[in-house]
Amino acid sequence: MPSTLGAPRQLLRRLREVMAARESVQERLDKVVMLIAGNMVAEVSSLYLLRRDGSLELFATEGLNREAVHNTHLKPGEGLVGLIAEQAEAKQFADAQGHPAFSFRPETGEEIYHSFLGVPILRGGNAIGVLTVQNRTHRTYSDEEVEALQTTAMVLAEMIASAGLTAEGDASAENKRQQNLVFKGVVISEGVALGHVVLHEPRIIVTKLIAEDLELERRRLKQAIDELTGTIDAMLERGDLARAGEHREVLEAFRMFAHDRGWQRRLDEALLTGLTADAAVQRVRNDTRARMLRETDPQLRERLHDIDDLSNRLLRLLAGGAAMTAASGNLPQDAILIARAMGPAELLDYDRQRLRALVLEEGGTTSHVAIVARALGLVAITQAKGVLDNVEPGDPAIVDAETGEFHVRPTPEVVAAYSDKVRFRARRQAQYAALRTVPPVTLDGQHVSLNINAGLLYDLPHLDQSGADGIGLFRTELQFMIASTFPRLEQQTRIYKSIMDAAGGRPVTFRSLDVGGDKVLPYFRTNKEENPALGWRAIRMALDRPALFRTQIRALLRAAQGRELRVMLPMIADVSEFQSAKSLIDHEVTILKRHSYQEPKRLLIGAMVEVPALLWQLDRLLPLTDFASVGSNDLMQFLFAVDRGNELVAHRFDALNPANLKALAVIVEGATRHHVPLNLCGEMAGKPLEAMALIGLGFRSVSMAPASVGPVKAMILSLDAGDLRPKLNDLMATRATSIREDLKLYAAEKGVQV
């Protein structure tokens, strides 16, 4: 075919005339497929649209039997058209009928056509339809033809959506907006919030799609990109963010992506097809989302949020607005922020005093925005599918980040119930606050040290607010996860020194780098593993990459400067691993002395007991340690072979199963025998009933989320530990799979606050 006929810019000029015509949508679609067929010298051009049930309906055709329009339907994933919609990528076949996915529909009369080219019609990265061309001859379509059809599909996407022809445009969707609905999500940060919906990204509708002056569009795009990168630079210089080390690293990673030449090159290429700057941004965003949504690599999924954030900011600038989100507008005092996905930089744009909660459709609990949401103390849930299609700005809503539920337009009865729940929580919090300075001592005089888990500088104020004794677990990996490159020695030293300074003399236990498994460093390439939780992670990675481990230890030693330094080694499965890591630490201490740096006043090296194999090595391990800490989450996961991130099995076994409690009792007995201080950090420690069981087993130091300190302290103050011990031993001897209900009865009888 002559290249001039397939040039996307020529095709777009013809499309502009069709779209401007005062005709029905169906008449315009009929003309569009006729125009495509003529322009591409194709004997068939057809348009299929996605319906609410997931099927694809033939909406317009030039070349196939007209009677098939609105009568031919393909099930989800059926046929070549279904394959293209499912995979959201262009496909062509010189002999379509020979492909195993080909689905023959006699009513269309397509049996005489062999070559086939189809492209997805994308909106938000998801296919809302498919555009195809066919020819009788066996042929391969050129790259220019594929590009022309893809660009046409992008223009059609806007036309189709504005006409309400997508599945989301069905009449039933409007009815849903009047109903009270409940969505289920995954908890990021616990709590309950009542408020009103604020859409993070009010949709920016690109109305002008086809360029009239290419040079003008190039200038507009360059100016917008320059302004965008300038805005991000300004955010980095903002006083409060410049001081927050981990958030600065988030923004540095974001800025690096904004300067990415590959992204800017794709924008330029989209412009050359004849699109406006705005449409080019939309085209690249749709194509990128379509590709990344189908990736399983969490590193790439995290970049998806960055491309969304940057594209949205760029579209606002092109539309004549600022690069800010809804954050720059007037937020209600009780804003519940709703977004499909967010970058952490976007969340930091908002007035934290007005935000009550965050609800996301996409993103994991370990994503960058989840880390920042927890640090800011927001009530938050994620993976609440379908929320954006069913909410309007200003809708009353409730986020229950205890059960993971999100209530939209709740009934008065539901509002009343949650209002009572919030008031009750507020009263309980006031009671816990009053206990802040009260020592955590049981009725029979047993002192229990209460510590918090932390991982960001924003967590440090919780030490004073909760009245905790110290930080029993500082997750150093969070600093690495939100950085764009491996933090240098000076950066790490500065962060660790800030943490010790903020602790004000209270003990801080630093867990050495615990990455791998579901904790991915975006700049650190690893091989895909079948079972990452059991794979190359934590101390295993540290020993195989000693330079990374030694750099972190060197930073910790320098940061201590005459203070006590506590370092905890994770995922120890064999005593030899602890010995090897300790040798590396001893070597770094020697180097510290050689270079006349001030040594820590006291250096304590501990091991995490979270691999069941250690239960039979305690008498060899514990004499080598200065302290030990039980990682109850992983210990239980490995004991029961239960993936705690898998919804199908995560709740299959109870932490108060006698088998789990007996394993913990063995660890307590070993630590007592060797006079080694013992702590437990994990979800068990933060739940009053489970914490009661731990005290009954003999634990006298536990570490938990800051919000759990008050409830656990209230339990301790009402507990007689000596009376509980024999009762617990009796219960563990039973054949029950859980002693939870029996412990609840005991607490009720004895007046223990659980």
> Which residues are designated catalytic?
368, 681
Contact 519, 478 (CB under 8 A): no
Return d(Cα 732, Cα 716) in angstroms, integer.
21
Contact 103, 79 (CB under 8 A): yes
- What Rg value do the Cα atoms of the chain yield, rounded? 30
Give the C-alpha distances (Å, rounded to integers) separating 217 from 150, 209, 278, 288, 337: 20, 11, 9, 21, 33
The amino acid present at 18, given as its one-letter code, is V
**Helices 658-673 and 721-732, interaxial angle, to 10°?**
130
Contact 198, 337 (CB under 8 A): yes
Residue 35 has φ and ψ, to the nearest 5°, of -65, -45
60-70 per-residue burial string, b: 16 or more CB within 10 A, e: under 16: bbbbbbeebbe
- Largest Cα separation within the chain, whole Å, is 92
Tokens linked to 697: 């087993």
Contact 541, 580 (CB under 8 A): no
Contact 110, 134 (CB under 8 A): yes
Contact 435, 455 (CB under 8 A): no
Give the C-alpha distances (Å, rounded to integers) separating 556 from 224, 491, 493, 565: 43, 11, 6, 8
Nearest alpha carbon to residue 181 among 386, 323, 2:
386
Return d(Cα 660, Cα 232) in angstroms, integer.
49
Return d(Cα 496, Cα 510) in angstroms, integer.
9
Tokens linked to 493: 């030293």
Contact 330, 354 (CB under 8 A): no
343 backbone φψ class: left, alpha, beta (φ>0; ψ -120 to 50): beta
Please provide the distance, in angstroms rounded to a whole number, between the alpha carbons at the two ends of the chain. Answer: 77
